[in-house]
Amino acid sequence: MNGVLHQAEQALARQTRCRYAVLTGNGTTALWAALAALDLPDGSAVLYPVLTCETAVNAAIMAGLKPTFCDVQPATAAPTAADLVLAATRSQARAVVPTHLFGHRAASLPLTPACPAIMDAAQTSGRPEHLMGGRAAILSFGPGKQRDLGGGGAVLTNDPDLAATCRGLLAGLALNPDLAASARRNLMVALVDLGRSIEPGSVDFARQRASLVHQHRIGYLEPADETMPLRLMDHLSHPDSTNHRRLAMTHFLEDALRLIPRVGLLARHPDDAPWRFTFQVPIRRDAVTAALRAIGLRPTRLFAPQNALAGQPDSDFPGAMALANSLVNLEFIQLGDNPTATCKQVATTIARALAQESVA
């Protein structure tokens, strides 16, 4: 094995207290490799929380598996362990992907050989606590992530067979670019079919369909490139200040928003900075989004409800639907060089938008 790659994988494994780390080109590829390494029969159901990143769901499709979804609790935007167990039983899931989202730590399933968990820790800094409860966990080093290396990802596991199978899959990707191209083609076919199968008239139809069709821009499989191990070694050699800086900004924003009546903050682990800052507004999200745009910020939509992929109606996910229209999603990167001033401005803008809406 390439010496630097081996060194970087060992350093990451040491820091995350796992026996094996396998580097990949991005978090999606890491999840694809970990799911494919489970060697489940084609079309087996894999359970995800209904609010998650589209590319995480694409990973299951590219591995020949069928994504299926579990509702989330409105207070945390995540399912509880009991929600996961119930949904996994109902959908006969053969694997589960508990997902740490927006600083909330995901609950996992009690580990059983019949239904292993792959922890999606893409939005975390990869502390040992984020990785527990799964046969493997995945990290992302993509732009804006806690460990932003401009790209990259990793599978972390204590299971030597799973690590070896992931390495084999990644070597296959590196040797044969057609593999990635054909996985991507299959993904597109699946997405277009699924897009067609959504009933027109569903509330979110237009948005969901547009999101499904545009996913070709983000569904990708890539092995780690040559520079990634070097970037990772450099990153691991100095203490990670990003998480601290983000946590400080998070506290500041939360304190400012707490002063505004009716703005909701999702429950978050006190030690975990969210990847993106997400909060709930009691009025149409569009009004708040427009007000924030006017001061130069670009809040993005939250990940589209993924239930369309499973052909499950919106009504099966009342928790996610309660959140879907009220969540505003800000990227830290947009808070600029003077985040304290920008946070104040964000809070004032939201307070004003809410006041105007209640007058109107």
Ligand X SMILES: Cc1ncc(COP(=O)(O)O)c(C=O)c1O
Stretch that binds ligand X, among 115-123, 128-136, 184-192, 280-288 (CB under 6 A): 115-123
Among 52, 124, 250, 306, binds ligand X (CB under 6 A): 52
Based on CB atoms, which residue is closest to ligand X, 100 or 263?
Answer: 100
122 binding ligand X? (CB under 6 A): yes
| Residue 192 identity | V
From residue 176 to residue 205, the character string flagging contacts with ligand X as x (rule: CB under 6 A) and all else as - is: ------------------------------
Count the residues of the shown chain that bind ligand X, applying the rule CB under 6 A: 14
Beta bridge partners of 329: 278, 300
Binding to ligand X in span 133-162, by CB under 6 A: 140, 142, 153
Based on CB atoms, which residue is closest to ligand X, 165 or 215?
Answer: 215
Stretch that binds ligand X, among 14-22, 116-124, 251-259, 282-290 (CB under 6 A): 116-124
Based on CB atoms, which residue is closest to ligand X, 66 or 145?
Answer: 145
99 binding ligand X? (CB under 6 A): yes
120 binding ligand X? (CB under 6 A): yes
Residue nearest to ligand X (CB): 27
123 binding ligand X? (CB under 6 A): yes
Least distance in Å: CB of 162 to ligand X?
Answer: 18
Binding to ligand X in span 4-43, by CB under 6 A: 26-28
Residue in the block written with tokens 């979804």: 69
Q: Which residues bind ligand X (CB under 6 A)?
A: 26-28, 52-53, 55-56, 99, 120, 122-123, 140, 142, 153
